[in-house]
Each structure stands twice: as structure tokens, then as C-alpha cells.
Amino acid sequence: MKKILLSLLDLIYRKKCYFCGRSKYSVKMCPECYDCLSYFDFKPNRIINGVNIYTCGEYEKNLQKLIRGLKYHKQKELAFYLAKFMYEYFSNLKINKRFQVIAVPLHKNRLKKRKYNHMELVAEEFCKLSDNIPNFDLIKRVKDTKPQYRLSRNERMQNLSNAFEVDLTKDLGLPILILDDICTTGATFEEMINTFKQNGLTDITCLASSSP
């Protein structure tokens, strides 16, 4: 009787895949849906101020739903799958360095509204999969910027001007790897790169999970 009850409870409370709705694996993203994610070429998407910017895949279908679910719909368990996708891409680049991993920071007002920084969750999972160290104290967003999605590149750069501040007392002395979800114009990466370089930190790599 106990075994029957446990089986029924397991059937009722099995997790459904956020993407296809099946509960076969009792996970938030089943292997079939994860395998639908596809990578871009293993080379820089662009170079900004001498820094390589890599993007893992295109912002569509399952990758779009993965990012939006994690970012806007409190599906925090999806952080692992986005981190895995980014880590597997990054591993193929054969960059033999140990990094201090930086998630693009949110301003305290945005953080208060959203309750969490989704890219910090991703960075933590990314570091668990790799030999890197998360460091969320090195750079802060000190300007409450407007949402970027409707702004032109010039407007984005103006919006982000002086948005970040570095605390060199928090530097771990390792190369910097900045993680973000979507790289559209590269304006956020560019402002962060400039801020780091102004503070003497020049060994920087940027990785976004997707681009449009």
C-alpha cells in the first residue's frame, strides 16, 4: 500500500518540462528540448575595444523561452540549463584560463523589483560546472538605467554612460569573464569593458547566451 501511495505521489508531483510539458524525466528541461538548442560558430561574434565578445546561440524558440522563463517568470531552476549551454559552448573555445566570473549587475532598484539577478544564478551554476570563481562584488551598477530594448545604439551608450563602478578591493587577481543573457548592440559589454579598463583591469572576455 505504501509503495502504491508513493508511486501515486510521484506521478502527481513529477516536474513537467517547461518547454514541451512532458513529465517523463521529472525535470524543468528534458533532454530532447535541451538538444534542440543550437550553437553559433565557436569564434568571436564581435570585438569591442580589443575584447572578444562571444555569443552562444540565436535568440529564438527554446533558447528564447529559456531566457525569458528565467528572467521574467521566476523559473530559477532554468539557470542550470542556461549555464550548461553557455559552459558547453565556452569549453569548445579552448581558452585555458581560470576566470573570476562577473554577471552583468542590476541596479538596486531593479533588483528590488525583480527580487533576483538571473545572471548571477547562471554565473553560480557556470562556476560549478567549471574551475572558475564567481565575483559579484567587483563591479556595481550605480545608475538606474532605462530598459535598453527600444533604444538605438547611441541612446544605449548615453543611457549606460557612467552606469558602473569598480571596487578594486574586491579584485581576485584573475582574468575577467563577463556573462550576460542577450547581446544586441554590445553597449552594456562596451561600457563595462571601458569601466574595467579605466581601473587597470584589461584581461577581459565577454560571453552572452544569445544574440538576435
In order of start, what are the domains of the chain with their CATH numbers?
A: 1-34 (no CATH), 37-211 (3.40.50)
Q: Would you put residue 58 in left (φ > 0), alpha (ψ -120 to 50) or beta?
A: beta
Comparing 156 with 35, the larger pLDDT belongs to 35
pLDDT at 208 over 50: yes
CB contact at 8 A, 164 and 193: no
Give the E-state strand segments of 99-146 in sequence order.
100-103, 133-134, 139-141
pLDDT at 1 over 70: no
Helix axes 78-91, 61-72, angle to 10 degrees: 130
Residues β-bridged to residue 206: 53, 178
Q: What is the pLDDT of residues 22-52, one digit of tens each?
A: 999 999 999 999 999 999 999 999 999 999 9
Tell me the pLDDT tens digit for each residue of 91-133.
999 999 999 999 999 999 999 999 999 999 999 999 999 999 9
Environment class of 124 (CB within 10 Å of its CB; exposed 0-12, middle 13-18, buried 19+) = middle
Give yes or no for residue 187 having a pLDDT over 90. yes
Average pLDDT over residues 141-170: 83
Lowest mean pLDDT among 2-11, 154-163, 200-209: 2-11
Q: Which stretches does DSSP call E strand in 31-86? A: 46-48, 51-58
